Amino acid sequence: MPAGHVNHNGVTASAVAAMVPTFPPPESESEESWVWAQIKAEAHRDADSEPALASFLYATVLSHPSLARSLAFHLANKLCSSTLLSTLLYDLFLQCFSSSPSLISAVVADLLAARHRDPACATFSHCLLNYKGFLAVQAHRVSHLLWTQNRRPLALALQSRIADVFAVDIHPAARIGKGLLLDHATGVVVGETAVIGNNVSMLHHVTLGGTGKAVGDRHPKIGDGVLIGAGATILGNIRIGEGAKIGAGSVVLIDVPPRTTAVGNPARLLGGKDKPSRHNDLPGESMDHTSFIQEWSDYII
């Protein structure tokens, strides 16, 4: 909508833009309240500028009084099937969100993570409505809650639908922290005993897998602030330390110390295993994928 154009409510485009809260959230407001206000303002703006989306935006965002209800409705309609009805899923998601405040806290952290770290994420509403990595993670949080409540057949059924719809396969028993970004997300696989910390970023086609038919604790443990590049495969009950970086396409079979970089197939530590090079930032938040390349090239020559 041009800046001087007046919409059907008599509001100019510049006035609509002014309704969108500033970024980042003010300290005087809870993050959840601020993010939900932002999402509604963005949805109003988009409905005015693109009438073809007005009904969709009203049904998914503007008709709901809270982020929990909006997300429950959207996930239910995304994941429903002819035998797993949207009304049943809506009640299930809403009950889980309402009974476990930590789930909505994690939702907000994941929205903020996408908005902060992904330059393609122009708005919170775009993430909420269109980012399949975000949606897969929120649905997984519900399946994990069901798993812990010993409602395992339903948790596994939900996992199957998540994999079918979003091409993201996370076992319901896997534990994941807040502020997780699955960027692009297609082909991400996370095994049963995997643990993912807070503020982790993972690209598409990442596998956190086992090494064979062994049972028990057999999957990777990912520390806070880790960045895992596209196509990386991490196998076995190994530890990726806080703030570590895993290069794209790497196959990791060893522990990776905190704040170090592992690259290659099989992966090796940048600088060598005895005195690996260390970085100061948290790459899971900075999204720095390539700063190691020159040093790695020098190391392998």
pLDDT for 247-265, tens place per residue?
999 999 999 999 999 999 9
CATH architecture observed for domain 29-167: Orthogonal Bundle (1.10)
pTM: 0.89
Q: Does the pLDDT at position 189 exceed 90?
A: yes
In the chain, ranges of CATH 2.160.10.10 domains:
174-301
DSSP 255: -
Reported as a pLDDT band with limits 50, 70 and 90, residue 16 is very low
What is the end-to-end Cα distance of the chain in Å, rounded? 56
Q: Does the pLDDT at position 298 exceed 70?
A: no
Residue 253 token pair = 């079979």
pLDDT for 81-110, tens place per residue?
999 999 999 999 999 999 999 999 999 999
CATH architecture observed for domain 174-301: 3 Solenoid (2.160)
Residue 45 token pair = 């703006």
Note the helical H segments in the chain: 13-19, 31-49, 54-57, 67-79, 86-99, 101-117, 124-130, 132-148, 152-166, 283-286, 293-300
The residue type of 241 is G
Mean pLDDT to the nearest integer, 280-297: 77
Lowest-confidence pick of 86-90, 104-108, 242-246, 275-279 = 275-279
In the chain, ranges of CATH 1.10.3130.10 domains:
29-167
At a CB cut-off of 8 Å and minimum separation 6, what does 179 contact?
109, 110, 112, 113, 198, 199, 200
Query: pLDDT value at position 13?
Result: 46
